[in-house]
Amino acid sequence: MGSLLAVLATGCQPASAPDAPATAVSGTGPDLMENSPGMMAEHDHMAMPAAAAGQGPYAQAMRLHDAAMNRMDALAAERQRLAGALAQLGQAAPTDPRWAARLRRAVSALEAADGQMMNWMHNAHEPDSTSHSGAQVAAYWQQQLPVLRQIDQRTTAALDSARVLR
């Protein structure tokens, strides 16, 4: 539920299919902004020059961002499913404590993946392209790529672990 509220608060729109691949982005900086709704779209000054838009660090970062946002609904659904399973365990006859521990670890991993993405979105502050050079703006996005890749890896691992617990 927390991720849904955060998504609504930022205006980001997850894909209708939680595991749908991120939409391929092409074109110039403003086109990229239109293809990644939400927080980033509010900042038109953050658009990269057309030459750097398709393959540069900004475009790579936005593809990773979009892919993560497309999986936020899946994170929330899996967390809700596993929390429900945990609640049922508490009401049922004594069960294997290892199973409950696995469920709790999976829920924790889903929450951590969601939290890491929300934290990144709320703390990402690209330098203003009107007062910083294109190289400085590109350097900022280059620094953000490993963070976004880690978010992607954590999200994938959390979802994979949760889906195994059927």
The pLDDT tens digits for 12-26 are 433 333 333 343 333
pLDDT for residue 154: 96
Asked if 103 and 145 count as a contact pair (C-beta separation under 8 A), the reply is no
Q: CA-CA distance, 23 to 81, in Å (whole number)?
A: 27
Q: Residue 12 has what DSSP assignment?
A: -
Which pair of structure tokens corresponds to residue 78?
Answer: 């899996």
Check pLDDT > 60 for residue 34.
no
What is the pLDDT at residue 79? Answer: 96
> Using one digit for the tens of pLDDT, what is the confidence trace for 36-67?
333 443 333 344 444 445 789 999 999 999 99
What pLDDT shows up at residue 23?
A: 38
- Which DSSP string corresponds to 40-108? GGG-GGGPPPHHHHTTSHHHHHHHHHHHHHHTHHHHHHHHHHHHHHHHHHHHSS---HHHHHHHHHHHH
- Residue 94: the pLDDT is 63
CB distance 115 to 129 below 8 Å: no
pLDDT at 166: 82
Arithmetic mean of pLDDT over the chain: 75
Least confidently predicted of 95-99, 122-126, 155-159: 95-99
Which of the 8 DSSP states describes residue 15?
-
Least confident of 37-41, 88-92, 125-129, 143-147: 37-41
Element (H, E) at 139: helix 134-164
Cβ proximity of 62 and 145 under 8 Å: no
For 71-117, how does the pLDDT look when each residue is reduced to its tens digit (9 = 90+)?
Answer: 999 999 999 999 999 888 877 666 678 888 999 999 999 999 999 99
Whose CA is closest to 57, among 121, 131, 149, 153?
A: 149
pLDDT at 123 over 90: yes
Q: Does 143 score more than 50 pLDDT?
A: yes
Residue ranges per structural domain of the chain: 2-164
